[in-house]
């Protein structure tokens, strides 16, 4: 039923039946951020405020250079804003030093990038297990194996990234991001380096995992149909939130 609605032309006009947002998992208030030095300094995020409920899925869209990736980095605690506040799962990032923020990320934030970002000298299993070990999990190897099984890669655990297809590498990256059971998963154009069929499989897997685990999901995409699979669609333009109204965003074929 859900998939019928999602794939129909009415998608976006019908509220998603799985949307049951709880308390805010992400609360961003009046965030400004500039990056770069001297004449190359760019004011990227301008007075951004955004609240995302527990378990909610958000599609983040907007033209190239509008600040989508930077906003994702701010939510993930990988970039600190110049001003404003970021609170994830009740923890204000301002109150954490770099080490504490890194520990928080390791437990609570899963990140998936367009270009996979796997460590080439480590097997699939090691790519998933090592971050778990660093986050203090005693059962890292077993947990990593289980996570790889769950993304359909039980038979590829001892392969290196170069021995895996793009789709398989992104599955490893997804397993790595999900293994700590994070409160939020942020994905930056996760299908950008994949062909259409493989990309669709990764996205289906992402939504299956969301349905199983209920983490808050923020998905950056330039694909409006994909964004429409999310509960909300937020559009950025020139570093500002231009719209947070899914019904206003047309699905382009």
Which residues make up the interface to ligand ADP (CB under 6 A)? Answer: 35-36, 42, 44, 62, 64-70
Closer Cβ to ligand ADP, 41 or 158, answer by number: 41
Question: Nearest approach, Cβ of 40 to ligand ADP (angstroms)?
Answer: 6
- How many Cα atoms within 13 Å fall on the side-chain side of residue 145? 5
| Residue 96 touches which member of ligand ADP, Mg ion, none, C-beta under 5-8 Å by kind | none
Q: Which of residues 173-192 bind Mg ion (CB under 5 A)?
A: none
| Residue 87 touches which member of ligand ADP, Mg ion, none, C-beta under 5-8 Å by kind | none
CA distance 138 to 84: 37
69 binds Mg ion per the rule CB under 5 A:
yes
| CA 228 to chain centroid | 15
Beta strand ranges found along 36-177 (DSSP E): 42-53, 57-61, 83-88, 91-92, 109-112
CA distance 171 to 177: 10
25 binds Mg ion per the rule CB under 5 A:
no
Closer Cβ to ligand ADP, 31 or 44, answer by number: 44
Angle at 175 between CA 119 and CA 149, to 5 degrees: 115
Closer Cβ to ligand ADP, 25 or 69, answer by number: 69
Q: What residues make contact with Mg ion under the rule CB under 5 A? A: 68-69
């Amino acid at each position: 039923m859900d998939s019928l609605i999602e794939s129909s032309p009415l998608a976006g006009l019908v509220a998603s039946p799985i949307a049951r947002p709880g308390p805010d998992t992400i609360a961003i208030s009046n965030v400004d951020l500039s990056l770069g030095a001297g004449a190359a300094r760019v004011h990227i995020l301008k007075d951004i405020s955004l609240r995302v409920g527990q378990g909610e899925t958000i599609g983040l869209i907007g033209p190239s250079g509008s600040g989508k990736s930077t906003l994702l980095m701010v939510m993930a605690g990988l970039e600190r804003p110049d001003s404003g506040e970021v609170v994830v799962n009740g923890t204000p990032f301002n109150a954490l030093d770099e080490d504490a923020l890194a520990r928080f990320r390791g437990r609570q934030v899963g990140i998936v990038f367009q270009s996979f970002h796997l460590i080439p000298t480590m097997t699939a299993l090691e790519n998933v297990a090592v971050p778990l070990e660093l986050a203090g999990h005693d059962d890292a190897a077993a947990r990593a194996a289980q996570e790889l099984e769950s993304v359909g890669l039980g038979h590829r655990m001892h392969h290196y990234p170069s021995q895996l297809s793009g789709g398989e590498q992104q599955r490893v990256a997804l397993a790595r991001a999900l293994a700590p059971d994070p409160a939020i998963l942020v994905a930056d154009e996760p299908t950008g380096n994949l062909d259409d069929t493989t990309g669709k499989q990764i996205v289906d897997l992402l939504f299956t995992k969301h349905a199983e685990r209920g983490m808050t999901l923020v998905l950056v995409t330039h694909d409006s149909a994909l964004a429409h699979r999310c509960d909300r669609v937020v559009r950025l333009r020139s570093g500002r939130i231009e719209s947070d109204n899914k019904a206003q965003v047309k699905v382009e074929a």
